[in-house]
């Protein structure tokens, strides 16, 4: 098995089991302890470290459980794997002070994973998650818009 094939297998395991099924044991198996994650789940700054990532992701997964998850595209080159997936979540529990609506919410994301020595060391997340962002706007607006500089 080539390095790219190994990286693809790790990425598939992380996405299907870790992200799709919120299995935090898979986070331990596939993520480097010092991973850096750039994601809207931490809009003010990247997440530093596997334990912080697990804490932030598990809070999200508890409030927004995934009911459907499919990898739409995956490819790897050198130490990078790019994964595009579609998921369906339900806003089941209050999240950051926003009352749960029990709405079904689609997510479409792209994860750019960097791997080293059989572990994911970086994850850059980009999403087209307008329903989620709209629901979470009261919390996200200051974290996102508040950081934009105003030039006059």
Look up the CATH number of the domain holding residue 29.
3.10.450.50
Measured CA angle at 58 (ends 57, 61), to 5 deg: 85
Domain ranges, residue 80: 3-147
pLDDT tier, 105 (very low <50, low <70, confident <90, very high otherwise): very high
Per-residue pLDDT tens digits for 54-102: 999 999 999 999 999 999 999 999 999 999 999 999 999 999 889 999 9
- Predicted pLDDT at 34: 98
Contact 72, 87 (CB under 8 A): no
The SS3 of residue 135 is helix
- Predicted pLDDT at 150: 60
What DSSP designation does 16 have? I
- Predicted pLDDT at 40: 86
- Does residue 152 lie within any of the structural domains? no
- Predicted pLDDT at 131: 84
Per-residue pLDDT tens digits for 15-57: 999 999 999 999 999 999 999 999 988 888 999 999 999 999 9
By DSSP bridging, strand 80-90 and strand 66-77 are antiparallel
If one counts the domains in the chain, the total is 1
- Does residue 9 lie within any of the structural domains? yes
Question: Tokens for 52?
Answer: 């912080």
Q: What is the DSSP string of 66-78?
A: EEEEEEEEEEEET
- Predicted pLDDT at 55: 97
Residue pointed to by tokens 């979470």 = 136
């Amino acid at each position: 098995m080539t390095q790219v094939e190994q990286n693809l297998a790790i990425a598939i395991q992380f996405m299907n089991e870790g992200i799709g099924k919120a299995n935090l044991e898979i986070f331990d198996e596939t993520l480097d302890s010092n991973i850096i994650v750039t994601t809207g789940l931490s809009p003010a700054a990247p997440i530093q470290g596997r334990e912080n990532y697990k804490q932030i992701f598990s809070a999200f997964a508890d409030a927004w459980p995934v009911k459907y998850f499919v990898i739409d595209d995956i490819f790897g080159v050198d130490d990078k794997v790019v994964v595009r997936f579609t998921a369906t979540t339900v806003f089941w529990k209050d999240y950051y002070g926003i009352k749960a609506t029990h709405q079904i919410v689609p997510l479409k994301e792209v994860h750019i994973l960097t791997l080293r020595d059989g572990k994911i060391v970086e994850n850059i997340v980009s999403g087209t998650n307008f329903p989620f962002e709209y629901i979470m706007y009261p919390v996200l607006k200051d974290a996102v818009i508040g950081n934009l500089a105003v030039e006059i």
